[in-house]
């Protein structure tokens, strides 16, 4: 084991013009330290000191600089207290004052040194906040998001090497805001940043500043920053900052006044920051639009990083991390899971794997299977209840036909996301049947993709009408609600109606808007009806399989189409 120890060797100066006048430095500054390690250690140290003194580049230092270095080291719980180890027992008052760094790399003395010269100072404490030290959580424990990590690494450099940035007249950011949907890893990134930097970490929640007594929030904010100042370098993490940093309303209510007072205290503390304080504030929220502009303006928390849903590479990294230690059958392919889990957050992916393993252990199995995975996924999507719905056979027939209507139109939609599977789940408290499509992180859609989505929403009811005429169920309730909302957006907001823009919703234009929406829905209905009418035999056969198996994937449907040329002939629209 190589053990490195830094010793600071000091001696008095003789030249007041260039060095320090010895009258400026008190003799009490020096204290001879007894040598507990024996003659061999003293010879070893003397040799190192002589080598250091032979260097041409010697660094004279002032008392002020020496005291600053001691303060910095003491902040790291290395209490030197103006001690020095002398290389001989003679007087040192005729020696120049130098600052030596002598590294002792000798395992013979390492064990002795561990119990010598170093003592822990009691850490600053607080009744309301906890200082986390020795944080071992690093960026390697967070899967993917390499661009976010790269941005955060510069924040570490800002904390450690702020002099480098001051050299180029760069204003050091006082903090940053991590924004994004719930479960994307904002808290993990804050924790990992503290672990990578080696700084003290104080995690708090915005709700910690909310109490029934007036003035508590403001006093706690002051307490928080006082604690951070006592633990420099330090990272403060305020989760859900919108609870304390919400826009000031000025409505006069007592709750608003208390929140405004707390926010004002936060702003005052931020304005009190200096470029070299060693305090860095990280805030997290999924509602950045609620924050007061005074909090997010340049000069305060002006740095913002958006953490969105994971891309394929990040999902792969998240899966690799959380699947460790969870045995699974070989038929489960990670690459397929990566594609299937598109649109899920990291927290959802972790929970999915954890619940799948728990379900396997519940049934005395040491590996989770694809069925465990599907079962847990179904629970996440539509919920679960201990008792199945008591449906008649006729109603289950309607459910199967309805869902296969969605699925078949989805399969033959060229611009829509891919249909993956159809499920009948009689234990779901929400819907006894549902069709699953691949999720997408895209936020820009074409008119064709939206129109096909409108067709898919209407196709469940159309399938019921083809087989049962007017004897339909209420299963299309949610489908109709979504279809109407989509058609309204296409006409009013996306400019996909007769007119690109409607200047108002006055009586003059209401009739035109209603006409456009109705026409759009009718076109989608007619297009879906053509597909399902021509695929009636396929619809019947697949619904029987779904009713029997309670599950049917897109690959099985495609195989049925490929094997039966009559379906191909029917489906030429």
For the chain, 573 residues long, the average pLDDT of each consecutive 10-residue run is 39 33 34 46 61 49 50 48 38 36 36 42 64 81 85 79 77 84 87 83 82 73 85 85 79 64 82 67 88 84 86 87 84 78 84 88 85 78 64 88 92 86 76 79 84 94 92 90 93 85 75 89 94 89 88 85 63 46
Query: According to the model, what pLDDT value does residue 22 have?
Result: 34
Pairing relation of β-strands 234-239 and 279-285?
parallel
Architecture of domain 393-570: Up-down Bundle (1.20)
Query: How many of the other CB atoms lie within 10 Å of CB of 434?
Result: 18
**Active-site pick, 403, 452, 464, 529:** 403
CATH 1.10.8.60 residue ranges of the chain are 312-382
**Burial code of 450-485, b = ≥16 C-beta within 10 A, e = fewer?**
bbbbbbbbbbbbbbbbbbeeeebbebbeebeeebee
Bridge partners for 420 per DSSP: none
Report DSSP letters for 480-507, one per residue: HHHHHHHHHHHHHTS--SSSS--S--SH
Query: According to the model, what pLDDT value does residue 254 have?
Result: 52
Query: According to the model, what pLDDT value does residue 356 have?
Result: 87
Instruction: State the SS3 of 178-213.
Output: EECCCCCCHHHHHHHHHHHHCCEEEEEEHHHHCCCC
CATH 3.40.50.300 residue ranges of the chain are 139-306
Residue 237 buriedness (CB in 10 A; 0-12 / 13-18 / 19+): buried
Distance CA(86)–CA(10), nearest Å, equals 8
Residue 159 buriedness (CB in 10 A; 0-12 / 13-18 / 19+): buried
Q: Is the distance from CB of 454 to CB of 524 less than 8 angstroms?
A: yes
Query: According to the model, what pLDDT value does residue 141 have?
Result: 81
Q: How many residues are listed for the chain in this entry?
A: 573
Distance CA(284)–CA(305), nearest Å, equals 10
Domain covering 139-306, topology: Rossmann fold (3.40.50)
Q: What is the model's pTM?
A: 0.61
Query: According to the model, what pLDDT value does residue 60 have?
Result: 45
Query: According to the model, what pLDDT value does residue 322 have?
Result: 86
Residue partners of 69: CB distance under 8 A and separation at least 6:
8, 99
Query: According to the model, what pLDDT value does residue 529 have?
Result: 93
Architecture of domain 312-382: Orthogonal Bundle (1.10)
> Which H/E stretch holds residue 551?
strand 551-553
367 carries an active-site annotation: no
Report DSSP letters for 395-415, one per residue: HHHHHHHHHHHHHHHHHT-SS
Q: How far is CA 3 from CA 74, 103, 355, 513, in A?
A: 20, 9, 46, 79
CATH 1.20.58.760 residue ranges of the chain are 393-570
Query: According to the model, what pLDDT value does residue 144 have?
Result: 86
């Amino acid at each position: 084991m190589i053990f490195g120890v830094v010793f600071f060797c000091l001696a008095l100066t003789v030249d007041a013009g260039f060095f320090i006048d010895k009258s400026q430095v008190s003799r009490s500054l020096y204290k001879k330290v007894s040598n507990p390690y024996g003659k061999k250690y003293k010879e070893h140290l003397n040799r190192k000191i002589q080598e250091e003194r032979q260097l041409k580049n010697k660094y004279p230092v002032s008392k002020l600089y020496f005291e600053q270095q001691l303060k910095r080291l003491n902040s790291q719980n290395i209490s030197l207290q103006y001690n020095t180890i002398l290389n001989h027992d003679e007087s040192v008052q005729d020696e120049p004052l130098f600052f030596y760094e002598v590294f002792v790399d000798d395992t013979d003395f390492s064990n002795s040194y561990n119990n010598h010269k170093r003592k822990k100072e009691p850490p600053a404490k607080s009744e309301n906040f906890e200082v986390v030290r020795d944080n071992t959580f690093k960026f390697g424990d967070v899967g993917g998001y390499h661009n976010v990590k790269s941005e955060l690494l510069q924040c570490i450099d800002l904390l450690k090497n702020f002099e480098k940035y001051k050299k180029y007249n760069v204003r050091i950011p006082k903090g940053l805001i991590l924004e994004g949907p719930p479960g994307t890893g904002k808290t993990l990134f804050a924790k990992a940043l503290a672990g990578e930097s080696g700084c003290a970490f104080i995690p708090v929640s915005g709700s910690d500043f909310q109490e029934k007594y007036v003035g508590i929030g403001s006093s706690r904010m002051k307490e928080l920053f006082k604690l951070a100042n006592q633990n420099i370098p330090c990272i403060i993490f305020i989760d859900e900052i919108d609870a304390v940093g919400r826009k000031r309303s000025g409505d006069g209510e007592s709750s608003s006044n208390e929140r405004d007072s707390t926010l004002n205290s936060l702003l005052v503390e931020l304005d009190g920051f200096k470029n070299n304080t060693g305090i860095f504030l990280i805030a997290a929220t999924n509602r950045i639009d609620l924050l007061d502009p005074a909090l997010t303006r340049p000069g305060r928390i002006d740095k913002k990083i958006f953490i969105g849903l994971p891309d394929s590479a990040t999902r792969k990294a998240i899966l690799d991390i959380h699947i460790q230690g969870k045995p699974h059958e070989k038929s489960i392919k990670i690459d397929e899971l990566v594609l299937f889990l598109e649109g899920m957050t990291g927290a959802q992916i972790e929970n999915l794997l954890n619940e799948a393993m728990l379900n396997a252990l519940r049934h005395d199995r040491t590996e989770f299977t694809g069925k465990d995975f599907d079962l847990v996924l179904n629970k996440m999507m539509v919920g679960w209840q201990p008792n199945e719905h008591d449906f008649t056979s006729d109603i289950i027939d309607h459910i199967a036909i309805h869902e296969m209507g969605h699925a078949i139109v989805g399969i033959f939609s060229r611009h829509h996301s891919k249909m993956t599977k159809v499920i009948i789940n009689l234990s779901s408290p929400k819907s006894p049947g549902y069709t699953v499509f691949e999720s997408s992180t895209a936020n820009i859609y074409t008119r064709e993709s939206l129109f096909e989505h409108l067709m898919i929403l209407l196709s469940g009811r159309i399938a019921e009408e083809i087989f049962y005429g007017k004897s339909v169920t209420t299963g299309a309730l949610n489908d109709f609600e979504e279809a109407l909302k989509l058609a309204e957006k296409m006409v009013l907001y996306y400019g996909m109606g007769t007119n690109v823009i409607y200047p108002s919703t006055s009586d003059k234009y209401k009739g035109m808007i209603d006409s456009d929406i109705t026409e759009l829905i009718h076109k989608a209905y007619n297009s879906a009806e053509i597909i399902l009418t021509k695929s009636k035999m396929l619809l019947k056969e697949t619904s029987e399989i779904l009713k029997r198996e309670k599950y049917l994937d897109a690959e099985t449907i495609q195989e049925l189409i490929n094997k039966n040329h009559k379906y191909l002939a029917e489906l030429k629209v």
